[in-house]
Amino acid sequence: MPWVLQKSDFFDSRFERFKKKHREEATAVLDNLDTYFKALENGSNPININAGFIHHEPEGIKAIDQKGGKGKLMQTRLYIYPDSAAMILYVISIGTKVDQKGDIRECQDYIRPLKRKG
Amino acid sequence: MAKQFSSVLDMIKDSTEDKDEVKSLADLINSKQISKTLFALRCRANMSQDDVAKKMNCSQGKVSKIENTRDTDLTVHDLVQYCSAVNMRLEIGFSDTRMTMADQVKYHYFRLRILLDKMREMARGDETIEKGVADFTKEAFMNISFGLLDCVQKASKTKLPVPPLHVSTPVTMEDINRHSEHETNMAAA
């Protein structure tokens, strides 16, 4: 069974709002998400996926940043949660580093019911 | 049930109607097919950038740079060294752009025969190995036949465009063993 991506029900609205102000950052962070997802597709265990653009947050949440993008970019965080059992990579939210505390709390609220189901 | 996507690009196409945005992301992703594969190989080998750097005899920063470099800027030297560090061998293939998928199937058939002949030649003179090769050839015949039979049943006329660069999925011993097990189970079923 291959890995798949699944967006949270609020991801699109967060993404729309974010890219209006930070288009380059959005592209850079999505490129890094693609790199992460390809590592999963190639059989890597999420625990072993490590690079400068990946930050390990509480409860298995990962934050992907904009590193590697062109120019001086705003510190960005794209929040994801890899569910190895179901082989689903949840793409939860996106925001700047400034908003990370609130964003992580929101991500935790999103994944808790998923963990209970699993 | 929530929508699921098989790639980041498909997911973003669903999130935005801005074609320029999708195109610039697609261009960026497609320009780094090799470096993304290298990253995946390292993670799959459960190695850190530092581990790879030590084996390549370079800095961790250099490894990080290779993993984020556009394919056109990578050197064969870096690729060979990186692959070697993660216990992989770099294979470079050249194929005629006029080659159809059917031609590729024929090509692999001939390669298969050459490899089996070579294996038989190498085993000549050693009864145990000769028997092992004979058993393996029979097993391969069964698995390939079942696989081909399945393909015959699913045969379609789809013609896909041929991209100028193709980065194949890395092949490891684990993959071969997994496929082999799967084929055996299919044959048994």
Q: Are residues B80 and B112 in the same domain?
A: no
Give me the residues of A, 1-60, that contact B with CB < 8 A: 2, 4-7, 9, 11-12, 15-16, 19, 23, 26-27, 30-31, 33-35, 37-39, 41-45, 48-52
- Mean pLDDT of each 10-residue bin along chain A, 118 residues long: 94 94 94 97 94 94 91 93 96 95 95 84
CA A14 from centroid of its chain's CA atoms: 12
Name the one residue in this structure whose structure tokens are 């390809």: A38
- Does B24 have pLDDT greater than 90? yes
Q: Which domain holds residue A77?
A: 4-117
Residue B92 is assigned to a structural domain of this protein: no
Q: Are residues B107 and B181 in the same domain?
A: yes
pLDDT band at residue B127 using 50, 70 and 90 as cut-offs: very high
Which of B6, B9, B10, B11 is the best substitution to test chain A (most A C-beta atoms within 10 A)?
B11
Which of B39, B42, B48, B88 is the best substitution to test chain A (most A C-beta atoms within 10 A)?
B39
- Does B139 have pLDDT greater than 90? yes
Plot region of B16 (φ>0 → left; ψ -120 to 50 → alpha; else → beta): beta
Task: Please list every residue in chain A whose beta carbon sits closer than 8 Å to the beta carbon of residue B21.
Answer: 19, 23, 26-27
CATH of the domain at B23: 1.10.260.40
Q: Is A98 on the interface with B (CB under 8 A)?
A: no
pLDDT tens-digit series, residues B154-176: 776 565 666 777 777 777 777 77
Which of B3, B4, B7, B8 is the best substitution to test chain A (most A C-beta atoms within 10 A)?
B8
What is the rounded CA–CA span in Å between residue B62 and residue B8? 27
3-class DSSP assignment, residue A93: strand
Sequence-distant (6+) residues with CB within 8 A of B35 are B66, B67, B68, B69, B70, B71, B74
Total domains in chain A come to 1
Total domains in chain B come to 2
HEC profile of B111-171: HHHHHHHHHHHHHCCCHHHHHHHHHHHHHHHHHHHHHHHHHHHHCCCCCCCCCCCCCCCCC
Residue B10 is assigned to a structural domain of this protein: no
Name the one residue in this structure whose structure tokens are 């997911």: B11
Going by their DSSP bridges, the two strands A54-56 and A88-96 should be labelled as unpaired
Asked whether the ipTM of the predicted complex exceeds the cut of 0.90, the reply is: yes
Q: Which domain holds residue B33?
A: 16-85
